[in-house]
């Protein structure tokens, strides 16, 4: 255990840095997975339920070492499966608590039924996917082939997750509290779609101050029916088609509201760009270097990084077509987000895709070569 993070053995117990406001000002060096775990404690999370899977097992390991039940009272429980952990989330979220889980691609697949129930019951929670290459058992190396699963459904029925894609260890930490804010604001599950590279790499990170756990709970939650209110029921079932259609319409109105308010993205040297890489997460980090390499060769390249994968920044991407001649979607997949890029720019400019699969991370050079071959020269 020692050497895995920045905790140390003192006497017979492992000690983590103290949760003081002073510490909140200081940078620390840690893995993305550990940052998620520490940020979860700091965000006042009530419960974490998870099941081990590479490459994200550090999240639960960090939490069990940190023993947050002694500092904030946070519950950390290793479930018997991802199926059980997502349903523990459903129970905890339905009871008004701030709950989260983390897993990696095959485990997230197992959770899809539960995620659909959570969305259908309009429950807030955080699901972290530290994605690896697929399909099937695939590989334990990083992958971005869960884009469709995360942003287009995944489980059954008409629902949406709010999906945030961090590109640094700092964002791994920052997106935890942001996710909970969005989840409770919209009564909707939020997913952090990361990948094995960001989960495993170490970077400097600064945490926010400790937030106390909630003491007041939403009025819809199953907190015990007091005499002053009607009973609360958490369910996604309604056998009356007319009523159920109205419920679905209500969900859709909520999603339109999210699309209006919660689009997040970042532009890097796009203002004068002739060509733009579109990439999120690890690919976006690599594309920053590709922008630099391309500009050294006299190619005016830029990077557009969607942060919210749903809602997707369609309009913002489309706005770039006023001066951008072509876009290359760079993903560690066979090309999933590229479909949204094409939807965004309406065939007005040339759109290509470059990707590696099976856990291979593309190099900055081969991305520039792909830009030249597919977009500039093509």
Partner 1 sequence: MAGNVLNKEMIKPENLVYKKTKVLTDNVMHYCPGCGHGTAHRVIAEIIEELDIQSEVIGVAPVGCSVFMYNYMDFDMQEAAHGRAPAVATGIKRLWPDKYVFSYQGDGDLAAIGTAETIHACNRGENIIMFFINNGIYGMTGGQMAPTTLEGMKSSTTPYGRDWMQMGHPLKITELVANLPGTYYVTRQAVHTPAYVRKLKRAVRKAFEYQPMNKGVSFIEVVSNCNSGWKMTPLQSLKWMDENMLDFYQLGDIKLPEE
Residues that bind partner 1 (CB under 8 A): 46-47, 49, 75, 77, 79-81, 83-85, 87-95, 97, 99, 113-114, 117, 121, 222-227, 231-237
Q: Which is nearer to partner 1, 60 or 294 (CB)?
A: 60
Nearer to partner 1, 100 or 169 (CB): 100
When the beta carbons of 223 and 374 are compared against partner 1, the nearer one is 223
Q: How far is the CB of 219 from partner 1 (least distance, A)?
A: 12
CB of 187 to partner 1, least distance (A): 15
| Contact criterion met (CB below 8 Å) for 34 and 5 | yes
Residue with smaller CB distance to partner 1, 251 or 279:
251
CB of 176 to partner 1, least distance (A): 18
Q: How far is the CB of 168 from partner 1 (least distance, A)?
A: 31
**305 CB contacts (<8 Å, ≥6 apart)?**
167, 265, 266, 267, 268, 278, 279, 280, 284, 287
Tell the smallest beta-carbon distance from residue 180 to partner 1 (Å): 15
Q: Is 73 helix (H, G, I), strand (E, B) or coil?
A: coil
Closest Cα to residue 151, out of 283, 319, 343, 345? 343
- Residue 110 or 361 with smaller CB distance to partner 1: 110
Question: What are 207's two structure tokens?
Answer: 């945490």
- Confirm if 198 and 167 have CB atoms less than 8 A apart: yes
What's the CA gap between 336 and 130, in Å, rounded? 17
CB of 7 to partner 1, least distance (A): 24
Q: Measured from the CB of residue 155, what is the shortest distance to partner 1 in angstroms?
A: 11
CB nearer partner 1, residue 116 or residue 139: 116
For residue 129, give every residue at least 6 positions away whose Cβ sits within 8 Å of its Cβ, in sequence order, or none: 102, 103, 104, 105, 108, 146, 150, 191, 192, 193, 194
SS3 of 254-296: the string is: HHHHHHHHCCCEEEECCCCCCEEEECCHHHHHHHHHHHHHHHH
Asked if residues 357 and 334 have their Cβ atoms less than 8 Å apart, the reply is yes
Q: Which CB atom, from 73 or from 358, has the smaller least distance to partner 1?
A: 73
Neighbours of 229 (CB within 10 A): 10
Show the tokens assigned to 41: 């404690």
């Amino acid at each position: 255990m020692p050497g895995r993070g920045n905790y140390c053995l003192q006497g017979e117990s492992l000690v983590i840095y103290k949760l003081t406001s002073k510490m909140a000002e200081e940078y620390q060096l840690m893995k993305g997975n550990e940052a998620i775990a520490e940020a979860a404690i700091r965000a006042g999370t009530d419960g974490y339920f998870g099941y081990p899977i590479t490459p994200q097992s550090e999240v639960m390991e960090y939490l069990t070492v940190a023993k947050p039940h002694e500092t904030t009272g946070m519950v950390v429980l290793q479930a018997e499966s991802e199926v059980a952990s997502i349903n523990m989330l459903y129970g905890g979220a339905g009871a008004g608590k701030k709950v989260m889980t983390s897993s990696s691609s095959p485990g997230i697949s197992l959770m899809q039924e539960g995620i659909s129930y959570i969305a259908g019951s309009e429950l807030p929670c955080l699901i972290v996917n530290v994605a690896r290459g697929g399909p099937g058992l695939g590989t334990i190396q990083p992958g971005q082939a869960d884009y469709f699963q995360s942003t287009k459904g995944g489980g059954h029925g008409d629902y949406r997750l709010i999906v945030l894609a961090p590109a640094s260890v700092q964002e791994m930490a920052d997106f935890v509290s942001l996710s909970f804010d969005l989840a409770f604001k919209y009564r909707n599950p939020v997913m952090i779609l990361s990948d094995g590279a960001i989960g495993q790499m170490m970077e400097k990170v600064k945490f926010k101050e400790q937030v106390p756990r909630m003491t007041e709970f939403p009025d819809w939650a199953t907190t015990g029916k007091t005499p002053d209110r009607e009973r609360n029921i958490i369910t996604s079932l309604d056998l009356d088609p007319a009523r159920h259609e109205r419920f679905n319409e209500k969900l859709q109105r909520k999603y339109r509201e999210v699309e209006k308010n919660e689009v997040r993205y970042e532009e890097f040297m796009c203002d004068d760009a002739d060509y733009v890489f579109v990439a999120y997460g690890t690919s976006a980090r690599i594309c920053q270097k590709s922008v630099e390499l391309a500009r050294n060769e006299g190619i005016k390249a830029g990077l557009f990084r969607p942060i919210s994968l749903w809602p997707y920044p369609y309009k913002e991407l489309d706005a770039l077509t006023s001066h951008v001649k072509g876009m290359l979607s760079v993903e560690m997949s066979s090309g999933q987000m590229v479909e949204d890029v094409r939807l965004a720019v309406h065939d007005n400019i040339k759109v290509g895709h470059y990707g590696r699969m099976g856990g291979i991370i593309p190099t900055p050079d081969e991305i520039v070569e792909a830009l030249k071959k597919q977009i500039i020269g093509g």
